[in-house]
Every structure is written in C-alpha cells, then in structure tokens.
Amino acid sequence: MKHATSAAVLATAMLFCGAEAAEGAVIVSFSSADAGPLAGKTLVWNFDDVQDADYSVAFSAGSGLRSVAAGTTSTAAPPPGATGSYAAVRGGGTMTLTTPGIMSLSVFMGSPDSYNSIRFNYLDGTSESLNGIQLAAGAFNGDQSIGRYMTYAFDKVVNSVVFGSSGDSFEFDNLAVVAAPPPGPITSPVPEPASWALLMSGFALAGTAIRRRSKAVPAAG
C-alpha cells in the first residue's frame, strides 16, 4: 500500500499490559491515515514489491493477502487509500511476523476493531498483548473510513509479532521497524580496586615464600 506523506499527528500513551510478562510496557503512538512509514523506520514488508529477506510472514489457514482491486467483500475491506495488496487476518486466524530482533514496529491498519489483537513475543521468552482500544488507541467499530499508522515501541527486544482476530477481519499493510542494535563485544570485567589489592597481596606473599624456600636449601657443593 502506498500513501502520500503528510505531517504526522502523534498521540502517545504508555500501556502496561497484563499478559505473560510480569513487567514491561509498550509505548503506543499513531500518525494520520495517509502517512507513510515514519522517519527513522525501515519498511520491511508492504505485501507488494518490498519484502526484506530477514523478516518472514506466516498466515494461518483462511487468512492471507487480499487485493485492493477486489474492493470491499463480506470478510475484508482494504485500509483507506491502499493500493496493491494488504493483509487480512480472519476470525480465529493469525499472521506471525518473525524478526531478527526489533525495538519498534509500525503498521498501517484500516477500520480497527475491538476484536483485533497483537501479541509481541520478546527475546527473553515473555510476551505482551494489546487488543481493541489498546492496539489502535481507540476502538472504531469497523468504520472503514478510518485508518491509522500505528507505532509500537518496546523496552526490550521483540523477535516475533502475532496479529490475531476473533472476528472478520484485521486488515493492515506496510510493516516498518526499528531494528535492535547488534550485541556488543564480550569484554572481561575490570577488577574492582579491592580485588586488585587482594591480588597484589597474593603475589607479594608468594614471592616471600619463594625467597625463604631458596635460603633454606643449601647450595650444591
């Protein structure tokens, strides 16, 4: 889906999510419906001609790509202003995005519904879920004239995202990310001053013991 770029109108909320994770938060913000991926984001999948090889998408049976040319059907409607193809997750279905590690995800969604959901799976094995009002910063009851470019920022690395819906359908496009930085080099910790003192004391004692032993051994005649 392609959009003309406009000035972004941002609204940010901190959401503490009661999912499997005991702690953590997702910062949610959004831009106007006709905005493309926000500055600083990398477009990794637009379901047409952009697909980053490091990011894979898997749909459950019944969900998948829809053509904007097909128009509104009984199970899906293209996000407003969309062209080409978009993703539609049907009731009971999922779409899983697997990543090499991200700190932010942006997605353009159309007519967000209270029964849509997104689960963020963290590298540490925990996860957090947003649904309804949380994931779209408001519930719009399927109003097909509404679209939002949502951005989710994380306080730890996400390695997969699951889009789900309990009804027809969850429609979205243009997945963009901020990749997690690569892990830094492994370095040996520098000993604390107290540790250095103990280490030097050990060397001094060892040296004294060696000298005493040398004096006690008679020289060979």
Tens digits of residue pLDDT in 184-204? 665 555 656 665 466 566 666
143 φ/ψ angles, rounded to the nearest 5 degrees = -65, 110
| pLDDT mean across residues, the chain | 80
Work out the average pLDDT over 97-124. 94
Question: Dihedral of CA 172/77/59/125: which sign?
Answer: positive
State residue 11's pLDDT score. Answer: 41
State residue 185's pLDDT score. Answer: 62
Spatial distance between the Cα atoms of 176 and 105, rounded to a whole number of angstroms = 6
Reported pTM: 0.74
Question: Is the pLDDT higher at 205 or at 161?
Answer: 161
Spatial distance between the Cα atoms of 18 and 15, rounded to a whole number of angstroms = 10
25 vs 16, 107, 154, CA distance in Å?
Answer: 5, 18, 7
State residue 191's pLDDT score. Answer: 57
State residue 139's pLDDT score. Answer: 66
Domains defined for the chain, CATH in brackets: 13-179 (2.60.120.430)
Tally Cβ neighbours within 10 Å of residue 167.
14
Spatial distance between the Cα atoms of 55 and 101, rounded to a whole number of angstroms = 10
Spatial distance between the Cα atoms of 135 and 157, rounded to a whole number of angstroms = 19
Residues whose CB is less than 8 angstroms from the CB of residue 38 and which lie 6 or more positions away in sequence, other chains included: 8, 31, 106, 149, 151, 176
Work out the average pLDDT over 108-131. 93
Asked whether 54 and 193 are in contact (CB, 8 A), the reply is no
**Using one digit for the tens of pLDDT, what is the confidence trace for 29-88?**
988 766 666 778 999 999 999 999 999 999 999 999 999 999 999 999 999 888 899 999
Residue type, 121: N
Spatial distance between the Cα atoms of 28 and 105, rounded to a whole number of angstroms = 10
Asked whether 86 and 1 are in contact (CB, 8 A), the reply is yes
Residue type, 102: I
